[in-house]
Amino acid sequence: MIANELTYQELAELDKKHFMHPTSPIQQQQENGPAYIFTKGDGIYLEDVHGKKVIDGMSSLWNVNIGHGRKELGIAAMEQMNKLAFSSSFATFSNEPAIRLAAKIAEVTPGDLNATFFTSGGSEANDTAYKLARHYWILKGQPEKKKIISRIKSYHGVAMGATSATGLKPFRDFTNSLAPDFYHTDNFSAKAFEEAVISEGPDTIAAFIAEPVQGAGGVHIAPEEYFKNVRNICDKYNILFITDEVITGFGRTGKYFGIEHYGVAPDLMCFAKGVTSGYAQLGGVVLSEKIYEDFKRLSTGTLLHGYTYSGHPMACAVALKNIEIIENENLIENAKNMGAEMLKGFRWIQGEREIVKNVRALGLMGAIELNSQQSAAGPLAPLIVNEAAKQGLICRSVVFDKMDILVLAPPLSINKQEIDRLVEIIHHAIYQIEQKV
Ligand code: PMP
Distance 61 CA to ligand 1 centre (A): 9
Q: Which atom of ligand 1 is nearest to the CA of 126?
A: 10
The backbone torsions φ and ψ at residue 358, rounded to the nearest 5 degrees and listed phi first, read -160, 145
Q: Which of 210, 235, 207, 231 is nearest to 221 (CA)?
A: 210
Spatial separation of the C-alpha atoms in residues 257 and 62, rounded to whole Å: 14
- Give the pLDDT of residue 49: 96
In sequence order, the 6+-apart residues with CB closer than 8 A to the CB of 106 are 113, 114, 115, 116, 286
Q: Output the ligand 1 site: residues, CB below 6 A.
A: 61, 121-123, 126, 155-157, 211, 215-216, 244, 246-247, 272, 283
CA distances from 323 to 104, 158, 359 (A): 9, 26, 30
Q: Using one digit for the tens of pLDDT, what is the confidence trace for 204-235? A: 999 999 999 999 999 999 999 999 999 999 99
Q: What is the pLDDT of residues 352-387, one digit of tens each?
A: 999 999 999 999 999 999 998 767 778 999 999 999
- CA–centroid distance, 341 to ligand 1, in Å, is 26
Structural domains in the chain plus CATH codes = 37-66+330-436 (3.90.1150.10), 71-328 (3.40.640.10)
Largest Cα–Cα separation, the chain: 67
Which pLDDT belongs to residue 328?
A: 98
Atom of ligand 1 nearest to the CA of 61: 8
Which among 45, 121, 108, 67 is positioned nearest to 307, based on CA atoms?
121
Instruction: Give distance in angstroms: CA of 62 to centre of ligand 1.
Output: 9
Ligand 1 pocket: which of 123, 164, 166, 187 to mutate (most atoms <8 Å of CB)?
123
**How remote is the CA of residue 353 from the centroid of ligand 1, in Å?**
32
Find the length of the chain: 437
Ligand 1, atom 1, lies closest to the CA of 156
pLDDT value of residue 292: 98
What does the pLDDT read at residue 347? 98
* CA of 428 relative to ligand 1 center, distance in Å: 31
Substitution site in 246, 365, 407 for ligand 1 pocket (most atoms within 8 Å of beta carbon): 246
Q: What distance in angstroms lies between residue 416's CA and the mean position of ligand 1's atoms?
A: 28
Measuring from atom 10 of ligand 1, which residue has the nearest CA?
A: 156
pLDDT score at 1: 66
| Residue 205 to residue 199: CA distance in whole angstroms | 11
Give the residue ranges of the chain where pLDDT is below 50.
Answer: none
CA distance 328 to 323: 8
Main-chain dihedrals φ then ψ at residue 106, nearest 5 degrees: -60, -35
Angle between the N-to-C axes of helices 416-436 and 381-390, in degrees from 0 to 180, rounded to the nearest 10: 120
Kindly give the distance from the C-alpha atom of residue 95 to the centroid of ligand 1, in angstroms, as a whole number: 26
Output the pTM of the full model. 0.98
Q: How far is the CA of 271 from the centre of ligand 1 (A)?
A: 9
Residue 394, H or E segment:
strand 393-394
Q: Quote the pLDDT of residue 3.
A: 80
What is the C-alpha to C-alpha distance for residues 134 and 233, in angstroms, rounded to an integer? Answer: 18
**Contact by Cβ (8 Å): 105, 116:** yes
User: Quick one: pLDDT at residue 374?
Assistant: 64
Ligand 1: residue of 219, 273, 398, 407 to mutate (most ligand atoms within 8 A of CB) is: 273
